[in-house]
Structure 1
Amino acid sequence: MSKLFTYSINTTKSDEFINITNLLKKSIKESSVNDGIAIVFCPHTTAGITINES
Structure 2
Amino acid sequence: MNGLQFYGAAPLTTSRGCNIGALCIVDKEPREFTESDQKTLASLASFVMAEIENNA
TM-score (normalised: structure 2):
0.33
Q: Which has the higher contact order (CA 8 A, sep 6+)?
A: 2
Q: Counting strand residues as a fraction of each chain, which structure ranks higher?
A: 2
TM-score (normalised: structure 1):
0.34
Q: Counting helix residues as a fraction of each chain, which structure ranks higher?
A: 2
